[in-house]
Structure 1
């Protein structure tokens, strides 16, 4: 239980506990909301740098290790285009998270704070959906790359069907577990922070009522 919850629990109930008025509770809710929005922003930035580091490692070492590049030019263009677009969208979300943090930190109006919390919750949900769709697209491109590398279309009909079925099953299983893992991560980090923001939202509504 954090300090804010402890104060709310004892607010005007315990004679030995320091009295806290409504305005002090409101200020603590403002501060708590600002801290939560800050952590949402920080985590998204950390994720971006980890993604950049992984891509840099993959770019500089994967071709050296394999010694060849089997993907055709058109697939490389699509893959790199999706990477660029994904980073542009990620930067947009990070900027939006920063804006939310800045607004929540500097607002002194409860109505504005409530609106900023709603916007933050909506943005986080959009960010989670974007990452899940990005995983699906990446798996699709990986499947196409695998098919091209194995020259499936040059094989007999039976072999081609066997490879196609194997690829679909393997990618589906891998995608299922990856998405489950990502949802667990997002639930552990982002949803937890958003739920606390929602709790602050409800507390502020009660204070205003």
Structure 2
């Protein structure tokens, strides 16, 4: 149990605990929320850096897929999706950094609550974006396989066999990648967001208590 939990526990047990300690808890919740959003920002920045490193390595490794003239548009689509993906990732990183700076500098509980809600919403959108990007990449890969191997120029039986195998393999690969991605997000982002939500709930309780007029 960290210092914040110990202080909250002591404060909740003793109604006569000095108000200064309640304000100390509020300040620690502010600091904790700022730290959580900072880690979300750092992790997303590391992910972006690793993605850039991988793409640079892939570009210079000489193993890049060579598209035929008939499916050259897939290469353009792949490159366009990559560029758009980077722009969107940059947007989320900027949003996380902006949320971190706002939470770090805010002195108003209501403003902090709005900032926490915004940060939580951005994290949810970022997770969804990455999952959709994986699904799109898998679909693009299988479409490339179909075109490069001229599947639709084969006999009806072969077409059915190819498509059946691709649906099964594609479904299994998609399920595996998405499961791994969800596990990754659950271990990192979801844990941070849950702690952020806990801070949010604590601040809501404090705000409600502050709004209750003292009994006479």
* CA distance in 1 between partners of 2:188 and 2:83 (Å): 25
Counterpart in 2 of 1:57? Answer: 57
**Which aligned pairs between 1:171-186 and structure 2 lie closer than 5 A?**
171-186=170-185
CA contact (8 A) 1:100 1:120 kept: yes
Rounded to whole Å, the distance in 1 between the matches of 2:107 and 2:20 is 19
| CA deviation after TM superposition for structure 1 residue 11, in Å | 2.5
- TM-score normalised to structure 2 length: 0.89
The aligned runs of 1:131-170 (5 Å cut-off) are: 131-170=130-169
2: CA distance, partners of 1:69 / 1:12: 65
Identify unmatched segments of 5+ residues in structure 1: none
Indicate yes or no: 2:117 matched with 1:118: yes
* 8 Å contact kept, 2:99–2:115: yes
Query: 5 Å matches for 1:9-158?
Result: 9-11=9-11, 13=13, 21-61=21-61, 64-65=62-63, 69-71=66-68, 72-158=71-157
| SS across alignment from 2:147 | helix
Distance 2:63 2:186 in 1: 36
Secondary structure of the corresponding residue to residue 107 of structure 2: coil
Aligned-residue offset at 1:73: 1.6
Residue matched to 1:199: 198
- Give 1:4's aligned residue: 4
* Structure 1 partner of 2:213: none
Q: Which residue matches 2:211?
A: none
Q: 1:40-79, CA deviations, whole angstroms, 9 ceiling, x for partnerless residues?
A: 0000000001111111112221xx247x713532110111
Q: Per-residue deviation at 1:154?
A: 2.4
For structure 2, the residue ranges without an aligned partner over 5 or more in a row are 209-216
- RMSD of the alignment, in Å? 1.9
**Partner Cα separation in structure 2 for residue 53 and residue 188 of structure 1:** 23
Q: Is the 8 A contact 1:7 1:20 kept in 2?
A: no
Aligned residues, how many?
204
In 2 relative to 1, CA 208–182 (structure 1 residues): closer, same or farther, beyond 3 Å?
same
